[in-house]
Amino acid sequence: MKRIVILISGRGSNMQALLDANLPCQVAAVISNRADAQGLEIAGRKGIETAVISHKDFADRAAFDSALAAIIDRFAPDLVVLAGFMRILTAGFVERYRGKLINIHPSLLPAYPGIDTHQRAIQDGIKIHGCTVHFVTPDLDHGPIIIQAAVPVLRDDTPQSLSARVLCEEHRIYPQAVRWLCRNQVWLDEIGRVASDRLEQPGAALISPGLE
Protein backbone atom coordinates (compact mmCIF):
# COMPACT_ATOMS: atom_id res chain seq x y z
CA MET A 1 0.00 0.00 0.00
CA LYS A 2 1.26 3.49 -0.86
CA ARG A 3 2.27 5.87 1.89
CA ILE A 4 1.37 9.54 1.97
CA VAL A 5 2.54 12.46 4.07
CA ILE A 6 0.20 15.45 4.46
CA LEU A 7 1.56 18.97 5.04
CA ILE A 8 -0.66 21.55 6.72
CA SER A 9 -0.44 25.03 8.23
CA GLY A 10 -3.81 25.55 9.89
CA ARG A 11 -7.38 24.35 10.14
CA GLY A 12 -6.79 21.05 8.37
CA SER A 13 -10.25 20.51 6.90
CA ASN A 14 -8.82 19.12 3.66
CA MET A 15 -6.54 16.86 5.68
CA GLN A 16 -9.58 15.68 7.62
CA ALA A 17 -11.48 14.99 4.38
CA LEU A 18 -8.53 12.86 3.25
CA LEU A 19 -8.37 11.01 6.57
CA ASP A 20 -12.12 10.33 6.47
CA ALA A 21 -12.16 9.14 2.86
CA ASN A 22 -10.95 5.59 3.41
CA LEU A 23 -8.23 6.01 0.82
CA PRO A 24 -6.22 3.07 -0.48
CA CYS A 25 -3.05 4.34 1.21
CA GLN A 26 -1.49 4.72 4.61
CA VAL A 27 -1.24 8.24 6.00
CA ALA A 28 2.27 7.95 7.42
CA ALA A 29 2.39 11.42 8.98
CA VAL A 30 0.95 14.91 9.14
CA ILE A 31 3.55 17.68 9.28
CA SER A 32 2.87 21.34 10.07
CA ASN A 33 5.04 24.44 9.92
CA ARG A 34 2.94 25.90 12.77
CA ALA A 35 2.67 24.36 16.22
CA ASP A 36 -0.82 25.87 16.67
CA ALA A 37 -2.30 24.30 13.51
CA GLN A 38 -5.71 22.90 14.47
CA GLY A 39 -5.23 20.04 12.06
CA LEU A 40 -2.46 18.58 14.24
CA GLU A 41 -4.94 17.82 16.99
CA ILE A 42 -7.38 16.19 14.57
CA ALA A 43 -4.63 13.98 13.16
CA GLY A 44 -3.33 13.13 16.63
CA ARG A 45 -6.81 12.07 17.75
CA LYS A 46 -6.91 9.69 14.80
CA GLY A 47 -3.63 8.13 15.90
CA ILE A 48 -1.58 9.57 13.06
CA GLU A 49 2.00 10.56 13.72
CA THR A 50 2.50 14.33 13.64
CA ALA A 51 5.53 16.60 13.45
CA VAL A 52 6.09 20.35 13.61
CA ILE A 53 8.88 22.23 11.91
CA SER A 54 8.70 26.01 12.16
CA HIS A 55 9.98 28.02 9.23
CA LYS A 56 10.87 30.72 11.78
CA ASP A 57 13.73 28.58 13.07
CA PHE A 58 15.58 28.74 9.75
CA ALA A 59 17.61 31.50 8.14
CA ASP A 60 16.10 31.14 4.68
CA ARG A 61 13.73 29.12 2.52
CA ALA A 62 16.41 26.72 1.33
CA ALA A 63 17.42 25.80 4.89
CA PHE A 64 13.79 25.29 5.94
CA ASP A 65 13.01 23.22 2.86
CA SER A 66 15.96 20.89 3.33
CA ALA A 67 15.06 20.32 7.00
CA LEU A 68 11.43 19.74 5.97
CA ALA A 69 12.53 17.25 3.31
CA ALA A 70 14.62 15.38 5.89
CA ILE A 71 11.54 14.93 8.09
CA ILE A 72 9.32 13.95 5.16
CA ASP A 73 11.85 11.38 3.95
CA ARG A 74 11.87 9.65 7.34
CA PHE A 75 8.36 8.48 6.45
CA ALA A 76 9.36 7.33 2.93
CA PRO A 77 6.17 8.60 1.28
CA ASP A 78 5.05 7.81 -2.25
CA LEU A 79 3.04 11.03 -2.26
CA VAL A 80 3.42 14.37 -0.46
CA VAL A 81 0.07 16.12 -0.17
CA LEU A 82 -0.09 19.86 0.53
CA ALA A 83 -3.37 20.59 2.30
CA GLY A 84 -3.43 24.29 3.15
CA PHE A 85 0.36 24.35 3.56
CA MET A 86 1.00 28.08 3.28
CA ARG A 87 4.70 28.21 2.45
CA ILE A 88 6.27 28.91 -0.91
CA LEU A 89 8.61 26.02 -1.70
CA THR A 90 12.02 26.29 -3.33
CA ALA A 91 12.66 24.82 -6.78
CA GLY A 92 15.06 22.31 -5.20
CA PHE A 93 12.35 20.96 -2.89
CA VAL A 94 9.80 20.78 -5.69
CA GLU A 95 12.23 18.94 -8.00
CA ARG A 96 13.09 16.42 -5.29
CA TYR A 97 9.44 15.31 -5.19
CA ARG A 98 8.70 15.58 -8.91
CA GLY A 99 5.50 13.69 -9.73
CA LYS A 100 4.89 12.99 -6.03
CA LEU A 101 3.94 16.46 -4.77
CA ILE A 102 0.38 17.72 -5.11
CA ASN A 103 -1.52 20.77 -3.90
CA ILE A 104 -5.08 22.03 -3.62
CA HIS A 105 -5.78 25.64 -4.47
CA PRO A 106 -9.04 27.58 -3.96
CA SER A 107 -9.55 28.83 -7.53
CA LEU A 108 -9.90 27.53 -11.05
CA LEU A 109 -6.21 27.76 -11.94
CA PRO A 110 -4.58 29.35 -13.85
CA ALA A 111 -6.98 32.07 -12.65
CA TYR A 112 -6.21 33.56 -9.24
CA PRO A 113 -2.95 32.05 -8.11
CA GLY A 114 -1.79 33.33 -4.70
CA ILE A 115 -3.95 34.49 -1.80
CA ASP A 116 -7.38 36.10 -1.31
CA THR A 117 -8.79 34.17 -4.26
CA HIS A 118 -12.45 34.47 -3.23
CA GLN A 119 -12.31 38.19 -2.61
CA ARG A 120 -10.59 38.78 -5.95
CA ALA A 121 -13.13 36.58 -7.75
CA ILE A 122 -16.04 38.60 -6.30
CA GLN A 123 -14.34 41.91 -7.10
CA ASP A 124 -13.87 40.84 -10.72
CA GLY A 125 -17.52 39.83 -11.02
CA ILE A 126 -16.77 36.36 -12.36
CA LYS A 127 -19.74 34.00 -12.33
CA ILE A 128 -17.97 30.67 -11.96
CA HIS A 129 -15.23 30.00 -9.44
CA GLY A 130 -13.86 26.80 -7.93
CA CYS A 131 -10.86 24.80 -6.86
CA THR A 132 -8.01 22.85 -8.40
CA VAL A 133 -5.80 19.89 -7.48
CA HIS A 134 -2.49 20.00 -9.33
CA PHE A 135 1.05 18.66 -9.34
CA VAL A 136 3.40 21.18 -7.82
CA THR A 137 6.06 22.74 -10.04
CA PRO A 138 8.50 25.53 -9.19
CA ASP A 139 6.06 27.99 -10.78
CA LEU A 140 3.74 28.93 -7.87
CA ASP A 141 0.16 27.65 -8.32
CA HIS A 142 0.73 26.72 -11.96
CA GLY A 143 1.38 22.98 -12.06
CA PRO A 144 -0.30 20.38 -14.27
CA ILE A 145 -3.96 20.03 -13.32
CA ILE A 146 -5.41 16.72 -12.08
CA ILE A 147 -9.00 17.72 -11.26
CA GLN A 148 -11.07 20.87 -10.81
CA ALA A 149 -14.53 21.64 -9.42
CA ALA A 150 -16.58 24.69 -10.40
CA VAL A 151 -19.19 26.47 -8.30
CA PRO A 152 -21.44 29.43 -9.10
CA VAL A 153 -20.66 32.84 -7.64
CA LEU A 154 -24.01 34.09 -6.29
CA ARG A 155 -25.22 37.70 -6.35
CA ASP A 156 -24.89 38.29 -2.62
CA ASP A 157 -21.77 36.24 -2.01
CA THR A 158 -19.18 37.42 0.46
CA PRO A 159 -15.65 35.99 0.44
CA GLN A 160 -16.79 33.83 3.39
CA SER A 161 -19.91 32.39 1.73
CA LEU A 162 -18.04 31.75 -1.52
CA SER A 163 -15.13 30.19 0.34
CA ALA A 164 -17.52 27.81 2.14
CA ARG A 165 -19.07 26.72 -1.18
CA VAL A 166 -15.64 26.12 -2.72
CA LEU A 167 -14.37 24.29 0.37
CA CYS A 168 -17.20 21.72 0.12
CA GLU A 169 -15.92 20.86 -3.37
CA GLU A 170 -12.29 20.82 -2.21
CA HIS A 171 -13.29 18.09 0.22
CA ARG A 172 -14.69 16.05 -2.68
CA ILE A 173 -11.99 16.47 -5.31
CA TYR A 174 -8.89 16.10 -3.11
CA PRO A 175 -9.74 12.56 -1.94
CA GLN A 176 -10.59 11.68 -5.55
CA ALA A 177 -7.22 12.91 -6.82
CA VAL A 178 -5.32 11.06 -4.09
CA ARG A 179 -7.30 7.89 -4.80
CA TRP A 180 -6.38 8.05 -8.51
CA LEU A 181 -2.71 8.61 -7.66
CA CYS A 182 -2.63 5.80 -5.12
CA ARG A 183 -4.14 3.42 -7.66
CA ASN A 184 -1.67 4.55 -10.36
CA GLN A 185 -4.58 5.77 -12.47
CA VAL A 186 -3.09 9.26 -12.78
CA TRP A 187 0.57 10.22 -13.05
CA LEU A 188 2.91 12.95 -14.28
CA ASP A 189 4.52 11.86 -17.56
CA GLU A 190 8.10 12.52 -18.74
CA ILE A 191 7.13 15.78 -20.44
CA GLY A 192 5.33 17.12 -17.40
CA ARG A 193 1.74 16.44 -18.46
CA VAL A 194 -0.94 14.68 -16.45
CA ALA A 195 -1.51 11.22 -17.91
CA SER A 196 -4.37 9.02 -16.83
CA ASP A 197 -6.05 5.71 -17.07
CA ARG A 198 -9.04 6.42 -14.86
CA LEU A 199 -12.70 5.60 -14.77
CA GLU A 200 -14.54 8.85 -14.16
CA GLN A 201 -18.13 9.83 -14.80
CA PRO A 202 -18.67 12.69 -17.26
CA GLY A 203 -19.19 16.03 -15.47
CA ALA A 204 -22.20 18.29 -16.08
CA ALA A 205 -22.16 21.84 -17.47
CA LEU A 206 -22.47 24.64 -14.93
CA ILE A 207 -24.20 27.82 -16.15
CA SER A 208 -24.08 30.76 -13.80
CA PRO A 209 -26.35 32.64 -13.25
CA GLY A 210 -28.80 29.94 -14.30
CA LEU A 211 -30.99 30.23 -17.40
CA GLU A 212 -34.57 31.50 -16.97
Binds ligand GAR by CB under 6 A, chosen from 34, 100, 105, 134: 105
Is position 14 an interface residue for ligand GAR (rule: CB under 6 A)?
yes
Is position 151 an interface residue for ligand GAR (rule: CB under 6 A)?
no
Cβ distance to ligand GAR smaller for residue 39 or 77: 39
Is position 42 an interface residue for ligand GAR (rule: CB under 6 A)?
no
Active site residue 134: no
Q: CA-CA distance, 71 to 65, in Å (whole number)?
A: 10
Residues 158-177 close enough to bind ligand GAR by CB under 6 A: 167, 170
Helix, strand, coil: what percent of the chain each, to 5? 35, 25, 45
The identity of residue 119, as a single letter, is Q
For 50-83, letters b (16+ CB in 10 Å) and e give bbebebeeeeeeeebbeebbeebeebebbbbbbb
Of 61-69, 100-108, 145-153, 195-203, the segment contacting ligand GAR by CB under 6 A is: 100-108
Q: CA-CA distance, 133 to 175, in Å (whole number)?
A: 10
Catalytic residue annotation: 105
Contact residues: ligand GAR, CB under 6 A: 8, 10-14, 39, 83-84, 104-106, 167, 170
